[in-house]
A and B are shown apart, each in its own frame.
Chain A
């Protein structure tokens, strides 16, 4: 089992328990706490590194990542609309999910990289936070067009002040302000326990994923293919961007993983309010039922191998 990270076994346990209709369930408050801890510790870890980076460098990377977050839903939308024959609102909503990121996938990737001693740019959580936002706005525009009654204030509030973003950015700021030294007293909770917390979180993710399979069966083959094809395409874009920005091999692979992952917290919440006619079951079934398990089990090692290939071919 050396190639298989034990945290993934917790995911599979949750998945199996869910499929077998076990009574198992993480209390909602525990799930909230566990996801808060994950978001904060990812933010803190990134924040510590943020201070060490030159500002110009960060700004350039943030802009590039924002452009990627805008581009990906624009690619996904026509595929869903014209090949998948989805109504406009559904196509826009699913496209937005795929332009944004999944923090859970990122967390699994950090565990994978850590156990293989693969180095990557430690300020990656900053890019993670940046990548969450643009796809939400693109999704709303794709569904609605630029209309005058778009309540910009409400949408911005929804996109920027979702609890995921607040915790992630909050963690980044605290980590940046306190530095590694200042955070030492909190290390046992936020950093040492990371894998255990991730394991609990993935157990619940397995249960949630299993719950999506029913609706997935109803919507059929196209969503299944899209849920695997889209992250593969996005990972290539991510690798190209990481390579172009001059990131390390680990950083490039991580950017590919971020690009390939699909949101299931920030985007669904925003879409539910801003594009109410989009069916939330559809987008969650594909992002949680297909793409999340595909990414954590097959995608992460695959994207890393693809990035390694590119670096080997170009001698980078």
Chain B
């Protein structure tokens, strides 16, 4: 089995941003992304997903390091100030590198 390393970028943010972020990601170059509903608690209070305004999403993107950096810096500049958003990166190994 030959695997190669990619970055997994995970973004947790307000559901209100979903369509805007999806559009941003299209421009920033990753080949795909996965969005799931999420809930939790952080510095901006409890987000229990009981209704639209209080729900969170988790976006996961697997891509090369350069793209991950580009996405991270774009999000940081554009959204960190006014939106509840956290973002973290980890190394993952993938089996079909041409997909990412």
Interface residues of A (CB under 8 A from B): 25-26, 28, 31-32, 204, 207-208, 211, 215, 264-265, 268-269, 272-273, 276-277, 280-281, 284
Contact = CB atoms under 8 A, between A and B. Distances in A.
A211 B53 CA distance: 12
Nearest to A25: B50
A264 B51 CA distance: 11
A215 B51 CA distance: 17
A284 B53 CA distance: 9
B83 A204 contact: no
A204 B50 contact: yes
Contacts of A32: 52
A205 to B, nearest CB: 9
Contacts, number: 40
Given A272-B14, A276-B83, A31 B53 contact: no
B81 to A, nearest CB: 8
B16 A269 contact: yes
Contacts of B14: 272
Nearest to A271: B16
A31 B83 contact: no
A28 B55 contact: yes
A93 B33 CA distance: 32
Contacts of A280: 53
Q: Which 6 A-B pairs have the closest CB atoms?
A: A276-B82, A272-B16, A277-B82, A268-B53, A31-B51, A28-B49
B42 interface: no
B20 interface: yes
Given A28-B49, A28-B50, A32-B52, 8 more contacts: A25-B48, A26-B50, A28-B37, A272-B14, A272-B17, A276-B79, A276-B83, A281-B45
A276 B53 CA distance: 14
Contacts of B50: 25-26, 28, 31, 204, 207-208, 211
Nearest to B23: A154
Interface in B27-49: 37, 45, 48-49
Nearest to A280: B53
A211 B54 CA distance: 11
